[in-house]
């Protein structure tokens, strides 16, 4: 097992990884920017090092500086968390070149799954259902128009290298497609350095359901059930839960087996997630693969009792999986909400100093955060400041627990999305398990959040 691990990340996920490393007796090295000098993860780690100025390209994305710290501190491995460098092929390759283990899959797998077009091809080859569309980049808008004549409107215009909803748009007719093409291509080029676009049939009113995988370096692959991430705003997840109340056992098993099949075809190792769109008839279609730990991983941990970060570390250190598929149990129901420093009416970021901070400490609550009273939320990073997870015996109890926990959650000095989260969890459509990816647009964005 590793003796020392550098966490190439910040905030709540860095703190989360440090806790598991401490449990396993592994020393930790934190990195931080000038803006994060007083952050919790910096204080928690065995050692901490400044890597640059506040902006991510000068600190958390500074590969040369991060690797210099890693080499000078003698770490065995680097855990990238999620976001930032977690799916950066160059970083994973550079780690290999200097003899430091990258805790994740091989660079070539990251690269293939990082391209939505290439990942579609890979899934089709593996026999995993994909949404009708094309698995190559469009040459221009005229070809896009021709493709829609075959698959029919509405369609989803997508950037191959996209993420977080950037470069993605639902279009309902030819005029809208022509207007959307150039703008989305330009945004994709600006954000990802890759303007390749493709088109899929738009699946109406789908659920967004993903399968958590673990795979070792010896061909052993298992799935740890599913997470329902259908409640989203602008393609960004807001609420996640496990298991899904929509799936029956037959569909759940089919999706798990399809995900395992896909991972094996890629010779995948470490933790990963296959995301699917599921229509009203429970037909499921591959959406994308995340070759890293997910923000919403705690709900899987809560229902299975498996520490995913611990498993990642063991796999990266060369250990084989100790669990078989039959041994993966699930118990109870877990829900996670993401707490953002943002105005609940406009959804604009709300940076500033947290003057008061109080969490629910009930036994059914799990808090994942890296802020406290006195912490300063800067404008330089993603506005998610914490995650609140609750676990109940069943979904009804978990919903009740979440509302209780949200009512006890107090943050002063900045605005947060807690009012919106209370409205989501308390909404009858959500309570009935009928929320699809259009839930927020249909029920919340048409009126002010109070």
The string of pLDDT tens digits covering residues 388-429 is: 999 999 999 999 999 999 999 999 999 999 999 999 999 999
Question: Please, which pLDDT band fits residue 161 given cuts at 50, 70 and 90?
Answer: confident
- Comparing CA positions, the residue from 292, 311, 235, 308 lying closest to residue 113 is 292
Average pLDDT of span 122-126: 94
In this prediction, residue 192 carries a pLDDT of 85
Please answer whether residues 124 and 135 qualify as being in contact, where contact means their C-beta atoms are separated by less than 8 angstroms: yes
Question: Can 207 be counted among the known catalytic residues?
Answer: no
List the beta bridge partners of residue 27: 4
Catalytic residue among 10, 94, 292, 338: 292
In this prediction, residue 447 carries a pLDDT of 53
Question: Please, which pLDDT band fits residue 380 given cuts at 50, 70 and 90?
Answer: very high
The position carrying tokens 């200097």 is 98
Name the pTM for this structure: 0.92
Instruction: Provide, rounded to the nearest whole percent, the portion of the chain with pLDDT above 70.
Output: 98
Residue 277: pLDDT over 80: yes
Question: Please, which pLDDT band fits residue 450 given cuts at 50, 70 and 90?
Answer: very low
Residue 191: pLDDT over 90: no
Average pLDDT of span 435-444: 92
Question: Please, which pLDDT band fits residue 116 given cuts at 50, 70 and 90?
Answer: confident
Task: Report the distance separating Cα 435 and Cα 336, nearest Å.
Answer: 15
In this prediction, residue 446 carries a pLDDT of 59
Question: Please, which pLDDT band fits residue 160 given cuts at 50, 70 and 90?
Answer: confident
Average pLDDT of span 209-235: 96
In this prediction, residue 445 carries a pLDDT of 67
List the beta bridge partners of residue 377: 352
Domains in the chain (CATH in brackets) are 4-103 (3.40.50.20), 132-201 (3.30.1490.20), 207-444 (3.30.470.20)
Listed in sequence order, the residues at least 6 apart from 164 whose beta carbon sits closer than 8 Å to its beta carbon are: 235, 236
CA dihedral 328, 331, 333, 338 (to 10 degrees): -50
Q: What are phi and psi of 192, to 5 degrees?
A: -120, -5
Listed in sequence order, the residues at least 6 apart from 372 whose beta carbon sits closer than 8 Å to its beta carbon are: 40, 354, 357
Here the tokens at position 305 are: 């009792």
Average pLDDT of span 259-269: 97
């Amino acid at each position: 097992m590793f003796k020392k691990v550098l966490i190439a990340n910040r905030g709540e996920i860095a703190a989360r990884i440090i806790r598991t490393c401490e449990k396993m007796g592994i020393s930790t090295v934190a990195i931080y920017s000038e803006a994060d000098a007083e952050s919790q993860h910096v204080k928690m780690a065995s050692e901490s090092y400044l890597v640059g100025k506040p902006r991510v390209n000068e600190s958390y994305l500074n590969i040369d500086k991060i690797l210099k710290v890693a080499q000078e501190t003698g770490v065995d491995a680097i855990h990238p968390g999620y976001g930032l460098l977690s799916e950066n092929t160059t970083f994973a390759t550079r780690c290999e070149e200097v003899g430091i283990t990258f805790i994740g899959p091989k660079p070539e797998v990251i690269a293939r799954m990082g391209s939505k077009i290439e990942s579609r091809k890979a899934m089709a080859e593996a026999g995993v259902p994909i949404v009708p569309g094309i698995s190559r980049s469009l040459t221009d808008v005229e070809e896009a128009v021709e493709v829609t004549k075959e698959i029919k409107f509405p369609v989803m215009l997508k950037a191959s290298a996209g993420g977080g909803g950037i470069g993605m748009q639902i279009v309902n007719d030819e005029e809208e497609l022509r207007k959307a093409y150039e703008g989305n291509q330009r945004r994709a080029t600006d954000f990802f350095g890759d303007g390749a676009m493709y088109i899929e049939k738009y699946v109406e009113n789908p659920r967004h359901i993903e399968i958590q995988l673990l795979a070792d370096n010896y061909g052993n692959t298992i799935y740890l059930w599913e997470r329902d991430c259908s409640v989203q705003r602008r393609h960004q997840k807001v609420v996640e839960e496990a298991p899904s109340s929509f799936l029956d056992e037959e569909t759940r098993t089919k999706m798990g087996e399809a995900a395992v099949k896909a991972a094996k075809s890629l010779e995948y190792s470490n933790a990963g997630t296959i995301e699917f769109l599921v229509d009203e008839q429970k037909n499921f279609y591959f959406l994308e693969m995340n070759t890293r730990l997910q923000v919403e991983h705690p709900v899987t941990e809560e229902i299975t009792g498996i520490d995913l970060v611990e498993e990642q570390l063991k796999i990266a250190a060369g250990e084989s999986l100790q669990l078989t598929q039959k041994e993966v149990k699930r118990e109870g129901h877990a829900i996670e909400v993401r707490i953002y420093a943002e105005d609940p009416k406009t959804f604009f970021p709300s940076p500033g100093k947290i003057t008061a901070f109080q969490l629910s400490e009930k036994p059914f609550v799990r808090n994942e955060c890296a802020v406290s009273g006195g912490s300063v939320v800067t404008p330089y990073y993603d506005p998610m400041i914490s995650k609140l997870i609750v676990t109940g015996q069943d979904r009804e109890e978990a919903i009740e627990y979440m509302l209780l926990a949200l009512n006890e959650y107090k943050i002063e000095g900045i605005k947060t999305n807690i009012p919106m989260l209370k409205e989501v969890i308390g909404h009858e459509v959500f309570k009935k398990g009928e929320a699809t990816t259009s839930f927020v647009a249909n029920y919340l964005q048409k009126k002010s959040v109070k």
